Amino acid sequence: MTTPAQAAAATLWRHWQAGTRLAVLPPECRPLDRAQGYAAQAAFAALSGEAVAGWKIAATSSAGQQHIGVDGPLAGRLLASRLLPPGATVRLANNQMRVMEAEFAFRLGADLAPRAAPYEQSEVLAAVATLHPAIEIPDSRYDDFVSAGAPQLIADCACACWLVVGAAMPERWRTLDLAAHAVTVWRGAAEAARGQGANVLGDPRIALTWIANELSRHGPGLKAGDLVTTGTCVVPVPVEAGDRMRADYGVLGSLEAALA
């Protein structure tokens, strides 16, 4: 017998493959809370047949949460085929969001398994192997993602689509104030946006701790090797085919991606 989570996953997977969208999930399989949303998301990943390479965090700013009508951040699985190398060309075909986001992405070197007690930030950071620059090109399978609500957005992998990941940043990142660290986005030779780590739940390290505890409650936890991208440090930048974008992290390096 097909469960509601599996039915929701099958509907979203069909639209993912076809590059099409839907208004909302059918009432009989529409998730009503976070737990049901994560169950549908897990079924989606299983249906894809792909490895889960890591996780993304959506809505890490209060403005972003208000914009899409959610009460807090959302976690979404990243499928392995959706991670791209530095300088990659990202296809915008069928993408309705058409924005890029500059993010800090942590690579785990140890498991953070589900448990009853919440994880402290010091424990989470001790499990980190490396930190990377990342450019996310998100998208949604809903016609109006702004009104879909948290459970449906979670089922849709929190608007995961493409993630371009750079080489590991210098180890000195551990001694820097990531909240105050500036991030600048360039379109060609023109500055397109400027922000800082504080735009991500106050600090990317806070965001990483949040997802460790979110997945301790609602998922498989984090595993060694997982990549976790923690949300945009800048206001999402509109992009179009032909744009060449660069996320500049100053002393921690930079990352480029082209849009086609």
pLDDT in tens, 98-118: 999 999 999 999 999 999 999
Domain count, the chain: 1
Residue 43 lies in a domain: no
Residue 144 lies in a domain: yes
Q: pLDDT band for position 62 (50/70/90)?
A: confident
Q: Report how far apart the first and last C-alpha atoms of the chain are (Å, whole number).
A: 42
On the question of pLDDT at 250 being above 80, the answer is yes
* Mean pLDDT along residues 35-62: 96
Residue 39 lies in a domain: no
Domain CATH code at residue 185: 3.90.850.10
Tell me the pLDDT tens digit for each residue of 220-232.
999 999 999 999 9
Residue 197 lies in a domain: yes
- The whole model's pTM is what? 0.96
In angstroms, rounded to a whole number, what is the distance separating the alpha carbons of residues 246 and 256? 4
Q: Cβ(197)–Cβ(96) under 8 Å?
A: no
In the chain, what percentage of residues exceed pLDDT 90? 95
pLDDT of residue 68: 82
Residue 80 lies in a domain: yes
pLDDT of residue 67: 75
The first and second tokens of residue 137, run together, are 């090109």
Residue 4 lies in a domain: no
pLDDT of residue 65: 83
Q: Which residue has the higher pLDDT, 64 or 114?
A: 114
pLDDT of residue 71: 86
pLDDT of residue 16: 94
Range of the domain at 99: 51-259
Mean pLDDT, all residues of the chain? 96
Tell me the pLDDT tens digit for each residue of 177-217.
999 999 999 999 999 999 999 999 999 999 999 999 999 99
Residue 21 lies in a domain: no
What is the chain's Cα-based Rg?
17
